Amino acid sequence: MFDYIINVSGYILEGSLITFQLYLVTAIFSVILGIAGALGKISKIPLLESILSFYTWVFRGTPLLLQLFFAYYGLPVLGITLEPFPAAALTFIVNYGAYFTEIFRGGIESINEGQYEAAKVLGMNYRQTMSRIIIPQTVKRILPATSNEAINLVKDSALVAVIGLGDLLRAAKVAVTRDFSIIPFIIAAVFYLVISSVIVTVFRKLEEKYSVYE
């Protein structure tokens, strides 16, 4: 039994490489997209605000699975064919980018206008105001919501199995079908829990670090 668990764990761990790669790519680029989107929504440029509002409305209001199907099966109809991983990465980035846009926008707008005025009185320019006063307070306020999205991303990554990517969950499913045992599913659940626990710990440390801005 122990040897079987070790062997299956190694097989599932190989499948988890796709999960980790997708997570890393999505985390980096969706945050960048979210920051750009948030700054665009508070830019007071009507056309840009309208475009970004439509973007967040569409991608937060439709299922991630539907968006994944559209990227992989729908885009070829329009003459755009993507391999499974690029299709998954694109879908996850634009989906999570929409959520981060609203999270970051809400965090920035939650800062009292008096903070900007005080910085101006102190002779700070826009960059100094944002980097020294606004951003640190914003980071503190958005950490809980960002942590939730980071954990959701781990679980949502399992959806890529529907387009044939050999992720963590798909590897476990293959092992279950092959060996007629539920142990691979249990191992997969443990892997997901470990990853989520690491993320929670990291964000807890970040919250402690930024608690000085309360």
pLDDT in 10s for each residue of the chain, 214 residues: 778 888 888 888 887 888 899 999 999 999 999 999 998 998 889 999 999 999 999 999 999 999 999 999 999 999 999 999 999 999 999 999 999 999 999 998 988 888 888 888 888 887 888 778 888 888 888 999 999 999 999 999 989 988 888 788 888 988 898 888 899 999 999 999 999 999 999 999 988 887 765 5
Comparing CA positions, the residue from 182, 178, 156, 177 lying closest to residue 168 is 156
CATH class of 2-213: mainly alpha
DSSP state of 73: I
Q: What's phi and psi for 180, nearest 5 deg?
A: 50, 55
The token duo for 76 is: 């070829």
Q: Are 181 and 90 in contact (CB under 8 A)?
A: no
CA atoms within a 13 Å half-sphere pointing along the CA-CB vector of 66: 6
Provide the 3-class DSSP secondary structure of residue 167.
Answer: coil
pTM score, whole prediction: 0.89
Q: Distance between CA 109 and CA 164 in Å, rounded?
A: 41
Comparing CA positions, the residue from 136, 147, 152 lying closest to residue 202 is 147
